[in-house]
Amino acid sequence: MKHLLIYPSLFVALAVPLALAAQNQGAAATQAADVPTYKAGGTPIAIPPPTSGLVEVGVDNHSIMEVFVPDSNRLLAAFVLSEDLPGLRSSNKALSKYALVEVPRQEEFTDLKASDFKEVADGMSKEFGAVLNSSVKESEDEVNRKIKALNLGDANVKLDHPVQLGSFFSEQDAYGCGLMMSVSLNGQSTNMIAGIILLRVRDRLIFAYLYSIYKDQESVRWVRKATEDWADAILKANQQ
């Protein structure tokens, strides 16, 4: 497998922290089961929520969250704070915490061996900075194109000043790292932290992202711990 083909998809995805809630689309929000299960390459993958405060948005709301998923990936699950769920389609308030789980379309039906996953994780740790810096503008353009296509108002997103936070953890079937980035929505900037997870789950490659507004160093510590705990919970939920 030429896993270098995966890296552009991954880094475009991680460079899109959410600083935008959807404009009014007229439909009510729905809440999915506590531990939703989705198929990746025909394989059912159980995805528990990242924390007790985040809930899956429900399939009816996936179209809203897909604005922030690159075309090269497919959204499996999306989580927001429970208090943000009722207004997901009608509020202009930015989401302070949320999470996305995605699968790369090109590799979705490919069985991933342990050695293959190690190659992907090693490549990410070595090439993180170079690929990230070259993909920010691409990510920005893709998000704004999707916002326009879905008639989500005149919002314009600008991504800037990506800062690597280094490796968070490294396990046999999971690798996590962090990123902080300035996200501007119509000129109003917010610093966002992203915890980025690569997972090998039931022989499938899964990307998971946990986002939080940056307030202070405690925000970074929270994302670091929550990211590793979530990775462990996903792997445990899919043990056979």
Per-residue pLDDT of the chain (240 residues; tens, 9 = 90+): 444 334 434 443 433 434 344 333 333 333 334 567 899 999 999 999 999 899 999 988 888 888 778 888 999 999 999 998 887 776 556 788 999 999 999 999 999 999 999 988 888 877 666 656 666 667 777 777 777 776 656 667 777 777 888 899 999 999 999 888 887 777 778 888 989 999 999 999 999 999 999 999 999 999 999 999 999 999 999 987
Query: How much is the pLDDT for 8?
Result: 36
Query: How much is the pLDDT for 7?
Result: 42
Q: Where are the alpha helices (DSSP H) in 87-185?
A: 114-149
CA-derived radius of gyration, the chain: 16
Q: Which pair of tokens denotes residue 144? A: 């704004």
Query: How much is the pLDDT for 135?
Result: 67
Residue 18: HSE in the Cβ half-sphere, 13 Å Cα cutoff:
27
Query: How much is the pLDDT for 155?
Result: 67
Query: How much is the pLDDT for 136?
Result: 67
Q: Where are the alpha helices (DSSP H) in the chain?
A: 6-14, 62-65, 114-149, 217-237
| Cβ atoms within 10 Å, residue 160 | 12
Residue 158: HSE in the Cβ half-sphere, 13 Å Cα cutoff:
8
Q: Could you give phi then psi for residue 62, rounded to 5 degrees?
A: -65, -30
Per domain, the residue ranges of the chain are 3-23+32-237
Residue 32: HSE in the Cβ half-sphere, 13 Å Cα cutoff:
22
Q: Which pair of tokens denotes residue 206? A: 């899964």
| Cβ atoms within 10 Å, residue 239 | 7
| Cβ atoms within 10 Å, residue 164 | 13
Which residues in 136-155 are b (16+ Cβ under 10 Å) and which e?
Answer: beebbebbeebbeeeebeeb
Beta bridge partners of 230: none
pTM: 0.82
Query: How much is the pLDDT for 11?
Result: 40
